């Protein structure tokens, strides 16, 4: 630790520092005169230069970098920049915890080091110091809350992204595994009906072999869009895997589920894959299996029932609905 001077005899004035803005009490300057000013080399952690014990650091010269989750301005790889006149470490003093180890000099710095006992004396001595400290803490809290809100929004965005199928934009298996059990639990609890429809595009391997996999991807996208456009806002469409899709119909009984499935079957027949008409128009058809939730069933039971109905539709000649 290198003592350049005491604050009372240095060239720095109280009015230049956020914590002491508007403070005119000479007793404050007297207390600060006993506080050391240390020099921290570029790249050096502040604690390495200062030693142990909670302290508030007032930056007099240079730039500090603070990697801390409690700050909102996390630019430059998660580092908050502290400029001359600003301070850091006030929370460590107030909660009597050690200073964070990730305060580092981005360039050579001079720091006024105010120990915990001195800071408390300053607070008792000057209401202006107390007011400025409260203002700084208010900024810290607002900044932390803003950072948390941004992180929550980013987390929600990536969570939603992880639950959408990249090709079809339908919900994916991750979404299904998370939501279908909850939908079923809610249906049981409220004694509401719930239907799922398993959908398999007919002869899709032959379609791919004939027209190529890019056209097969287009066919899947067209089929998915057809389903989404034909469903109610409360319904869900899922890419179950490969060319197999699923529709979830909350608050729908078997009769209603069959009517929806028949409508979907008809819509798929009319869907257009090759819009330029330069190739023979390959209509998409599908086999659909409908199952209605029964008392005591779980997600696996319901999917198994719908899958069995789907195979009955295939065995009956495809391009149809079975229960």
pTM: 0.58
Order of strands, sheet of 286-292, starting from the edge strand that comes earlier in the sequence: 236-241, 244-250, 194-201, 286-292, 321-322
Spatial contact of 201 and 286, defined as CB atoms under 8 Å apart:
yes
CATH superfamily of 7-149: Jelly Rolls (2.60.120.10)
In whole angstroms, give the CA distance from residue 298 to residue 141: 45
- Is 243 catalytic? The answer is yes
Spatial contact of 112 and 39, defined as CB atoms under 8 Å apart:
no
Say what the pLDDT of residue 76 is. 40
Delimiting residues of CATH 2.60.120.10 domain(s) in the chain: 7-149
CATH superfamily of 173-322: Reverse transcriptase/Diguanylate cyclase domain (3.30.70.270)
* pLDDT tens per residue across all 323 residues of the chain: 333 334 444 466 777 788 998 888 888 888 888 888 899 999 898 887 666 568 899 999 999 988 755 444 444 445 688 888 898 888 788 776 666 668 889 999 999 999 889 999 999 999 999 999 988 888 878 877 887 788 788 777 776 667 788 899 899 999 999 999 999 999 999 999 999 999 999 999 988 888 888 889 999 999 999 999 999 899 999 999 889 999 999 999 999 999 999 999 999 988 888 766 555 556 789 999 999 999 999 999 999 999 999 999 999 999 999 99
Delimiting residues of CATH 3.30.70.270 domain(s) in the chain: 173-322
Question: Between the CA of residue 241 and those of 75, 171, 172, 203, what are the distances in Å?
Answer: 40, 11, 8, 15
Select which of 90, 243, 244, 266 is catalytic.
243
- Other Cβ atoms less than 10 A from the Cβ of 319: the count is 19
Say what the pLDDT of residue 99 is. 63
């Amino acid at each position: 630790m290198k003592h350049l001077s005491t604050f009372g005899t240095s060239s720095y004035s109280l009015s230049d520092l956020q914590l002491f803005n508007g403070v005119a009490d000479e007793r404050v300057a007297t207390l600060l005169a006993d506080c050391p000013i240390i020099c921290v080399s570029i790249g050096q952690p502040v604690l390495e230069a200062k030693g142990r014990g909670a302290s508030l650091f007032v930056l007099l010269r240079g730039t500090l970098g603070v990697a801390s989750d409690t700050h909102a301005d996390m630019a430059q790889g998660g580092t908050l920049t502290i400029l001359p006149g600003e301070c850091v470490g006030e929370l460590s003093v107030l909660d009597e915890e050690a200073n964070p180890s990730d305060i580092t000099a981005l360039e050579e710095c001079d720091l006024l080091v105010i120990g915990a006992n001195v800071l408390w004396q300053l607070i008792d001595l000057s209401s202006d110091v107390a007011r400025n400290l409260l203002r700084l803490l208010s900024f810290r809290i607002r900044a932390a809350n803003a950072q948390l809100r941004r992180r929550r929004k980013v987390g929600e965005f990536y969570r939603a992204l992880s639950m959408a199928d990249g090709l079809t934009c339908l919900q994916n298996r991750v979404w299904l595994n998370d939501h279908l059990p909850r939908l079923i639990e809610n249906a049981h609890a409220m004694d509401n009906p719930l239907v799922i429809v398993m959908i398999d595009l007919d002869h899709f391997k032959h379609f791919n072999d004939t027209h190529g996999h890019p056209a097969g991807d287009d066919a899947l996208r067209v089929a998915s869009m057809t389903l989404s456009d034909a469903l109610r806002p409360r319904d869900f469409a899922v890419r179950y895997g490969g060319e197999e899709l699923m529709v979830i119909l909350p608050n729908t009984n078997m009769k209603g589920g069959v009517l929806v499935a028949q409508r979907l079957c008809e819509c798929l027949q009319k869907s257009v894959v090759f819009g330029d008409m330069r190739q023979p128009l390959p209509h998409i058809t599908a086999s659909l299996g409908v199952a209605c939730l029964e008392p005591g069933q779980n997600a696996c039971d319901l999917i198994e029932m719908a899958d069995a109905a789907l195979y009955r539709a295939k065995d009956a000649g495809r391009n149809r609905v079975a229960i």
